[in-house]
Amino acid sequence: MTNLTVTQTSLDPEQGAVGARRRPSIAARISAMGQSRIGALLLLVATLAAIVWANVSLASYGTFWQTHLMAGVGDLHLEFTLHALVNDALMAVFFFTVGLEVRREFAIGELTSWSRALVPVAAAIAGLVAPALLFVLIARGSGNEQAWGLVISTDTAFLVGALALIGPRVPGRLRVFLLALAVVDDIGALSIIALVYTEHFTPLPLLIAAAGLVGVYLTRYLRSRRGPVYVSLAIVVWLAFLASGVHPTLAGVAIALLVPVYRPNRSDVERALELARTFRQSPNTEYARAAANSLRESISINERLQSAYAPYVAYVILPLFALANAGVVLNPEVLAGAAGSTLTWGIVVGLVVGKLLGVFGSSALLRRLKLGELGAGLTLDRVLGGAAVCGIGFTISLFIVDLAIDDELAQNEARVGVLAASVIAFVLATIIFRISDAVRPDDDSGMTLARPVDPVRDHVLGDSYAPFTIVEYGDFQCGFCLKASGSILEVRGVLGDRLRYVWRHAPLVQIHPNALAAAEASEAAAAQGRFFDFARALLDDQDNQRPSDIIRIADDLGLDLDQFEKDLISAEVAGRVRDDMLDAEAMSITAVPTLFINGRRHVGPYDARSLLRALTTAGDTPVAE
């Protein structure tokens, strides 16, 4: 049987240095930026282009986006403007991807556990309420108090892009926190659009939409040709929402929430591998199609759709939306009017100050009351910077302008407020992050164990309260980790129960493709009390860590295989490994094994003699939580 496990060794540092001196091409530089940064930059460019276009020729800008289009057959036709095509149809795809992310986070992501989700959920709710209250307080008497929905939502696309551009040195934990917050924020914004800004409501078409949504749910049970069925039903549901008066973009969210999401299970992965082997032995069209279909079906349709649509949303739909909606005239008269407008100031204060107070204030309060955990490396100063970024309320804020305000002059003032608030929030966040990084000297970065040893949470070999501690951040496909663990066991032979050995996960996924799956498998074994036995088996046989090998090890150890396979694809197991990886990122761990001796990072050889010497000269172990 062909072994498909691929294990690479780490790059030679000298070769890496030579490669670093080569000047990368423009294409390589763009690729290295990542989708988030490129999408945010395109959104910014489209915004600037819209402003320039509107100020150079407002008539042509308005005429272009009011171009009428018609589609239909015979007496059945649909007429709409180019602006409506972008806002009602293309933005439905954007909200569809938002709904996919919401569905994923609640099914297998950061929001599966209430204890993990408490702080970001509370911060999101406070970040919805505080801006709205400030807006109403400032804008009361202006006749535009109903536009409070403009200030409630954070622009997720700009948030991710801004974090990539100006975020702290180790943004991983902050990124997870803000994305979880953004999911709840989006739910609130979408609910408000549906409940508050729907003017003409006709219930009958929603019965058709409900039937279509039932069809969307049942489509998961079809064995093949699900794609065309999903598309056909999505069009029916969208048209029904449009006819009902409920904004049709919400159809995208409703459909996305019914799309199944799950982690790949062993049987599907094994079948895909078997078909790939068959195709390799007998390459033909039939086997190629079967292998490709099996590989695709092993991943949930939710994640496949996110991957497929994300580039179109980031590179086409959101820039087009900005181009169609950000065209605000910025002449002296308009700016003077905006400067004296309570509507404009309500938006600026609501987004910049309201988001800052709501997100940061609730997070700090929960931490003070010890009702939630922010995680290693996520300090309050970084939460403050993240709260400032949340003041960028671009996309949905501009989207709600047309829904909440009828007067064209007031719409212009509102757009000025949204743009001004987004710029101020970006600059404020940049300043906070730069100060935050400056007060943390690089020379001590990652030298102290970020998360103290917790006997309840951690995998501890030995007495949980022993006076000496070695914490290893390791990778089950790393040969050096095998050597390090052997040295640590030798040290335990000398010190006995005076030493506790703690393993935490830091899989090098770019080098060892099976390391992440192996880490999750060890956590599934830990649920049955066999973590270190399973870990030793993985370290001893690093070239055989396919799904079938994982099950074989579990069977050899006498584990309950049905329960093991359920745990293997659970959100709890994935979250546990991800937590360790985020801790490793917070401490700038880029190579394994990385050892911490009595809470301080060990630098130097990790043979048994060196470790014994380091243990006896190190300070006291951190107090376990």
- pLDDT of 6 reads 38
- Specify the higher pLDDT residue, 75 or 352: 352
Average pLDDT of the segment spanning 538-548: 87
pLDDT band at 276 (very low <50, low <70, confident <90, very high): confident
Burial label, 67 (beta-carbon count in 10 A; 0-12, 13-18, 19+): exposed
Give the pLDDT confidence score for residue 75 in this predicted structure: 61
Lowest-pLDDT range of 124-133, 235-244, 271-280, 362-371: 271-280
Q: Is the pLDDT of residue 352 over 80?
A: yes
Task: Give pLDDT, residue 278.
Answer: 79
In this predicted structure, the answer to whether residue 404 has a pLDDT above a threshold of 70 is yes
The better pLDDT of the pair 22, 294 is held by: 294
Q: What's the pLDDT score for residue 16?
A: 38
Of 330, 334, 312, nearest to 321 by C-alpha is: 312
Please state, in angstroms and rounded to a whole number, the distance separating the CA atoms of residues 28 and 436: 31
281 or 450, which is more confident? 450
pLDDT tens string 129-168: 999 999 999 998 888 889 999 999 888 777 877 887 788 8
- In the chain, the percentage of residues whose pLDDT exceeds 70 is 88
CB atoms within 10 A of CB 322: 25
Q: What is the mean pLDDT of residues 388-393?
A: 92
| Cα(536)–Cα(474) distance, integer angstroms | 12
Q: What is the pTM of this model?
A: 0.74
Query: Using CA atoms, how far apart are residues 54 and 60, in angstroms rounded to an integer?
Result: 8
Separation in Å, CA 170 to CA 116, 236, 309, 446, 585 = 20, 45, 28, 11, 6
| 207 or 183: which leads in pLDDT | 207
- Encoding tokens for residue 507? 């899989």
Task: Summarize pLDDT for 196-230 with one digit per residue, the tens.
Answer: 887 777 888 989 999 999 999 999 888 777 888 98
> Which range is least confidently modeled, 159-168, 389-398, 585-594?
159-168
pLDDT tens per residue across span 2-30? 333 333 444 433 343 344 445 555 444 54
Stronger pLDDT, 386 or 30, i.e. the higher one: 386
Q: Indicate whether 441 pLDDT > 70.
A: no
| pLDDT of the residue at 533 | 94
Q: Are 189 and 152 in contact (CB under 8 A)?
A: yes
Please determine, for residue 376, whether its predicted confidence score (pLDDT) is greater than 90: no
Q: Band of the pLDDT at 33, cuts 50, 70, 90? A: low
Mean pLDDT, the chain, whole residue set: 84
pLDDT of residue 72: 66
pLDDT at 10: 43
Given a contact cutoff of 8 angstroms between Cβ atoms, the answer to whether 93 and 252 are in contact is yes
Is the torsion defined by CA of 307, 309, 313, 314 positive or negative? positive
Question: Looking at the predicted structure, is the pLDDT value of residue 307 above 70?
Answer: yes
Buried b (16+ CB within 10 A) or exposed e, 129-153: ebbbebbbebbeebebbebbbbbbb
Whether the pLDDT of residue 406 is over 90: the answer is no
Average pLDDT of 474-486? Answer: 92
Name the range with the highest mean pLDDT among 319-333, 409-423, 574-588.
409-423
Q: Please, what sign has the CA dihedral across residues 227, 232, 238, 241?
A: negative
Residue 31 has a pLDDT of 52
Estimate the crossing angle of helix 394-404 against helix 318-325, to 10 degrees.
Answer: 50
pLDDT in tens, 502-541: 999 999 988 888 899 899 999 999 999 999 999 999 999 9
Burial class of residue 302, CB neighbours in 10 A (0-12, 13-18, 19+):
buried
pLDDT at 483: 92
